[in-house]
Amino acid sequence: MTDLRSYRAPWWLPGGHLQTIWPTLFAQPRPSQAITLVRERWRAPDGDFVDVDHLSGAKDAPWLVVFHGLEGSSSSRYAIAFAQGALARGWRLSIPHFRGCSGELNLAPRSYHSGDFQEVGWLLARIRDRASAPVLAAGVSLGGNALLRWAEEAGSGAAEIARAVAAVSAPLDLVAAGAAIDSGINRLIYTRHFLRTMIPNALAKWQQHPGLFDRERVQRATTLREFDDAFTAPLHGFAGVDDYWTRASAKPHLHKIKIPALVVNARNDPFVPAASLPTPDEAGAMVTLWQPEQGGHVGFATNPWPGRVTAMPEAVSDWLGSILDG
């Protein structure tokens, strides 16, 4: 089984920033190398729609569900790598899109957030109803935290839906992660990058539902904290950003997970401070922690040049597969 605990980045990718940025922009697989997925539009319980991309397979094949990260999609390089790996293994695959991330603005007066465990639970249950074999789930960054929150909230009932879950580069302590991404060079690089799409998407939501939130506050936001306080929190029933970040964080509830769970965090992740990562005692008996010294945020690139981002999806899929075999 491939294991990321001993991961070391190529010599030409020193430091957490390069290990984060380079794989996102330049590593393989490129979007042009993506395999064809079939999109299906599901009607959500609130009447809105959710777009889900599928890779078909044998009826008795394991079914892997991948939840993307902040502003991600099935076109993200890690998602393409997961899909390629599923095809090679003969697994079925589904990549649901969080609201507004499939290329079309969703309809309801809501978006998505790091603690969106109810949405995750509905999506997994719908796939479980279709599957004739075990369902496995992996979440990346925001999607990883939301997936863990679902497993925590579901408790022993999670086993009726999924055999095992895995989270990669999840911001398990959103207060610590939010402070990190909004500080220093992180704010100049990553916060600016995310807000470049998040603010226009939020303003489009305001055009759909005028008065839904304070439009001027969103327009003025220069940090994720300001954006989440003005937009994400009020849209999803939180009292404010502190209430949102506290209640949505997976770290305090890891010990409640009752199915096998893998939690992967590089200790040089610019978004997720190493000091905020859980210890084995905090994680609980069902949680396996991989915390390599290197890897960046959803990076884990390997040789040859210009790098490949397949190591992480392969390792996560290997681990999930080992649960089935065990």
The single residue of 141, 249, 276, 317 carrying the catalytic annotation is 141
Which residue blocks in 155-228 are alpha helix, DSSP H? Answer: 174-181, 184-186, 192-208, 215-220, 224-227
Give CA–CA dist 148/82, Å, rounded.
Answer: 19
The single residue of 17, 276, 297, 317 carrying the catalytic annotation is 297
49-83, pLDDT tens digit by residue? Answer: 999 999 999 999 999 999 999 999 999 999 999 99
2-21, pLDDT tens digit by residue? Answer: 789 999 999 999 999 999 99
Task: Respond yes or no: is residue 269 known to be catalytic.
Answer: yes
Q: Specify the pTM.
A: 0.98
The single residue of 53, 173, 228, 269 carrying the catalytic annotation is 269
Task: Respond yes or no: is residue 193 known to be catalytic.
Answer: no
Number of other residues whose CB lies within 10 A of the CB of residue 325? 6
Task: Respond yes or no: is residue 141 known to be catalytic.
Answer: yes
pLDDT at residue 25, as a whole number: 95
In the chain, where the domains are located:
4-173+251-325, 174-248
280-297, pLDDT tens digit by residue? Answer: 999 999 999 999 999 999
- Short-list 93, 155, 161, CA closest to 121: 161
- How many residues are present in the chain? 326
- Short-list 268, 245, 271, 277, CA closest to 177: 271
- Given 1.10.10.10, 3.40.1280.10, 3.30.43.10, 3.40.50.1820, which CATH number is that of 4-173+251-325? 3.40.50.1820
119-175, pLDDT tens digit by residue? Answer: 999 999 999 999 999 999 999 999 999 999 999 999 999 999 999 999 999 999 999
